[in-house]
Amino acid sequence: MIGQMMDFQLTINSVMRHGRSLYGNQEIVSVTSDNPLHRYTFEEAFGRVCQVAGVLADMGLNAGDRVGTLAWNDYRHFEIYYAVSCSELVTHTINPRLFPEQLDFVVNHAEDRVIFVDPTLLPALEAIKDKLTKVERIIVMTSEEHMPDSSLALECYETLLAGRPTEFTFPEFDEKTASSLCYTSGTTGDPKGVLYSHRSTVLHAMGGAVPSVFGLTTDDIILPIVPMFHVNAWAIPYAAVMSGTKLVFPGPKMGDGAAIADLINAEKVTVSAGVPTVWLAMLNHLRETKQTVETLTRIIVGGAACPQAIMEEMEQAHGVYVHHAWGMTEMSPLGTFNTIKPELSDLPADEKMAYRLKQGLPPYGVELDVFDEEGNAQPHDGTSFGSLRVRGPWIASGYFKLDKEIIDENGYMDTGDVAVIDEHGYMQITDRAKDVIKTGGEWISSIDLENAAIGHPGVAEACVIGIHHPKWDERPLMLVIAAGEQPSKEELNAYMSDKVAKWWLPDDIIFVQELPHTATGKLDKKVLRTQYKGYKLPTA
Ligand code: AMP
């Protein structure tokens, strides 16, 4: 028997209607490249969304066409997010940190017909202009007086919007309609496009907004430092509108610790989200200037493992609670979020910290498990490793225009991460599948080894890769960027020896000036594995 409830479509349009009609007075504040602090209300924002929709309607685009954005986190990017998706078009957020070859690959693969670009990111587009096959119009996100000179034919965002009506009749469509597209650079091959739907986006934002996850309220003020060009800024542009939460956008200042701290204090931000490097930059600034962030109560740290040092300093020096989170582009991205369950709340601080450093619990909407190579689910004992597989309504079932099966017979997608799950359900990433070092049939976690080295004051960054070894198959090689005075190899090994098993210690340590990173800031081990292929370890 089918239930007798309305077949109400979960579209981003419904999020917009809700936010505009209920929280019209709530603010959106942003730093942009042409304004140090722009401020307006949800009502004004959605009025301008209608104006952008009018511009798009005049362009003669067809339902499902892709519209690219090459932009920072700011109010114009927010307007485009809503205007494009709600017009039954697809917002393709382009990562400006991609290398030029990847940039033209993604723009051409997506077949973007229009690109909205921040003036500061125009050079990236100019560099690939001869390779763009489908782009018909380039709109610069600024006003007429700030229009840059360029060899490209450009149109001005503000001029296109001027004088247009602030109401628009958006089309009605199925909730499974594609809403946005984000490419993941991955570790091998060309970037792959993840095509989100209205339904997945709405459910993901609802799943993230609930009290046991972001817990957004109308009293919160949220600063998404996670970029809008990478996995929808972790749903914050939607979850904040659903929850009536004031939004503060950092614009191009995302990596600037001083600017972030000033923005938090000036706008009384209560909650924020970003990758560890952002928080390290802010903590350095606060330490040097002996300042604090008064109003900030909690932050969400994800995208890479959250170091214990960030958690401790945030809490002890600034009273900010740190939630560790994990996810991936294919998961919209929310996969787990760390909160302490009631049965663990009375543990001594160090034992609780061990739980808090784990990637966390899946929210409702995500099911996950770990499997061995034969596909057997591993026990949830906190020690049994396995490949981490996930399923749920905001998880990709394939890649854009790619004929590749990514779902197994049980409906799971393999994340490429290796993890353990403990008896309380906390998931902990122990490695990337492709990064795992298997030595004599046993696993070494390169991440744990890197973390052990990073605790040493003479180490700024460490990266471990597996090198072929005649006896053990693979042994770890550690590459280190020194901080200040370079420690000796012996000193570093001695330092790590009580933090990891003896047999984990790297067979060699090489000090380097720099390490390659992917466009999303992760260590690019693919490059390093190629570079050090054939390297002869002293133990070989
Ligand atoms: P991306 O799709 O670029 O966002 O990358 C997703 C990958 O980043 C995941 O599969 C993990 O390998 C890694 N990752 C994300 N969050 C965390 C975290 N909290 N701890 C460790 N690794 C993480």
Ligand 1 atom at shortest distance from the alpha carbon of 301: 19
Choice from 429, 450, 524 to test ligand 1 binding pocket (greatest atom count within 8 A of CB):
429
| Cis omega (within 30 of 0) for bond into 333 | yes
Tokens of 260: 């972030």
Mean pLDDT on 452-470 = 90
Q: Are the C-beta atoms of residues 134 and 112 closer than 8 Å to each other?
A: yes
Choice from 102, 182, 326 to test ligand 1 binding pocket (greatest atom count within 8 A of CB):
326
Residue 393 has pLDDT above 90, yes or no: yes
Residue 276: predicted pLDDT: 84
Residues with CB under 6 A from ligand 1: 184, 302-305, 324, 326-329, 333, 359, 415-417, 429, 432, 520
Ligand 1 atom at shortest distance from the alpha carbon of 336: 19
Q: Are the C-beta atoms of residues 427 and 421 closer than 8 Å to each other?
A: yes
When mean pLDDT is compared across 259-263, 294-298, 352-356, 528-532, the lowest value belongs to 528-532
Tokens of 54: 């009018």
Tokens of 517: 């990173």
Mean pLDDT on 456-475 = 87
Nearest alpha carbon, ligand 1 atom 1:
328
Nearest alpha carbon, ligand 1 atom 17:
304
Phi-psi domain of 453 (left: phi exceeds 0; alpha: psi -120 through 50; beta: other): alpha
Ligand 1 atom at shortest distance from the alpha carbon of 447: 21
Nearest alpha carbon, ligand 1 atom 16:
303
Amino acid at 412: Y
State the pLDDT confidence band at 4, using cuts at 50, 70 and 90. Answer: very high
% of the chain at pLDDT higher than 70:
97
**Total length of the chain:** 540
Residue 435: predicted pLDDT: 65
Choice from 328, 357, 366 to test ligand 1 binding pocket (greatest atom count within 8 A of CB):
328
Ligand 1 atom at shortest distance from the alpha carbon of 359: 19
Tell how strand 473-482 and strand 508-511 pair up: parallel
Mean pLDDT on 210-220 = 96
Helix axes 12-22, 75-86, angle to 10 degrees: 130
CA distance 458 to 74: 38
- Helix (H) / strand (E) element for 449: namely helix 446-454
The pLDDT tens digits for 300-324 are 999 888 889 899 999 999 999 999 9
State the pLDDT confidence band at 447, using cuts at 50, 70 and 90. Answer: confident
Whole-model pTM: value is: 0.86
Residues 6+ away with beta carbon under 8 Å from 173: 9, 11, 63, 88, 198
Tell how strand 271-274 and strand 437-439 pair up: unpaired
- For the chain, the straight-line distance linking the first and the last C-alpha, in angstroms and rounded, comes to 68
Q: How many angstroms separate the alpha carbon of residue 23 from the centre of ligand 1?
A: 34
Q: How many angstroms separate the alpha carbon of residue 303 from the centre of ligand 1?
A: 5
Amino acid at 363: P
Q: Are the C-beta atoms of residues 479 and 462 closer than 8 Å to each other?
A: yes
Q: How many angstroms separate the alpha carbon of residue 235 from the centre of ligand 1?
A: 16
% of the chain at pLDDT higher than 90:
81
CA distance 115 to 461: 36
Closest CA to 205 of 94, 332, 299: 332
Residue 84: predicted pLDDT: 98
Ligand 1 atom at shortest distance from the alpha carbon of 330: 2
Q: Does residue 129 or residue 99 have the better pLDDT?
A: 129
Residue with the two structure tokens 């469509």: 173
The pLDDT tens digits for 182-195 are 998 654 457 899 99
Residue 432 has pLDDT above 70, yes or no: no
State the pLDDT confidence band at 469, using cuts at 50, 70 and 90. Answer: confident
The pLDDT tens digits for 337-386 are 999 999 999 999 999 999 999 999 999 999 999 999 889 999 999 999 89
Q: How many angstroms separate the alpha carbon of residue 411 from the centre of ligand 1?
A: 21
Q: Are the C-beta atoms of residues 458 and 450 closer than 8 Å to each other?
A: no
The pLDDT tens digits for 485-534 are 899 999 999 999 988 878 889 999 999 999 998 887 778 887 898 899 89
SS3 content of the chain, % helix, strand, coil (to 5): 30, 25, 40
Q: How many angstroms separate the alpha carbon of residue 169 from the centre of ligand 1?
A: 39
CA distance 445 to 429: 10
Ligand 1 atom at shortest distance from the alpha carbon of 520: 3
Q: How many angstroms separate the alpha carbon of residue 302 from the centre of ligand 1?
A: 7
Choice from 417, 428, 523, 525 to test ligand 1 binding pocket (greatest atom count within 8 A of CB):
417
3-class secondary structure, 353: helix
Q: Are the C-beta atoms of residues 11 and 180 closer than 8 Å to each other?
A: no
Residue 527: predicted pLDDT: 87
What are the two backbone dihedrals, phi and then psi, of residue 214, each rounded to the nearest 5 degrees? -70, -30
Residue 187: predicted pLDDT: 43
The pLDDT tens digits for 140-156 are 999 999 999 999 999 99
Active site residues: 184, 330, 438, 443
Residue with the two structure tokens 């990073």: 454
Ligand 1 atom at shortest distance from the alpha carbon of 429: 21
CA distance 409 to 7: 29
HSE value, Cβ hemisphere, 13 Å, CA-based, for 288:
9
Q: How many angstroms separate the alpha carbon of residue 251 from the centre of ligand 1?
A: 23
Q: How many angstroms separate the alpha carbon of residue 42 from the centre of ligand 1?
A: 32
Structure letter (DSSP) for residue 311: H
Nearest alpha carbon, ligand 1 atom 7:
328
CA distance 111 to 92: 10
CA distance 114 to 65: 9
Nearest alpha carbon, ligand 1 atom 5:
328
Nearest alpha carbon, ligand 1 atom 20:
305
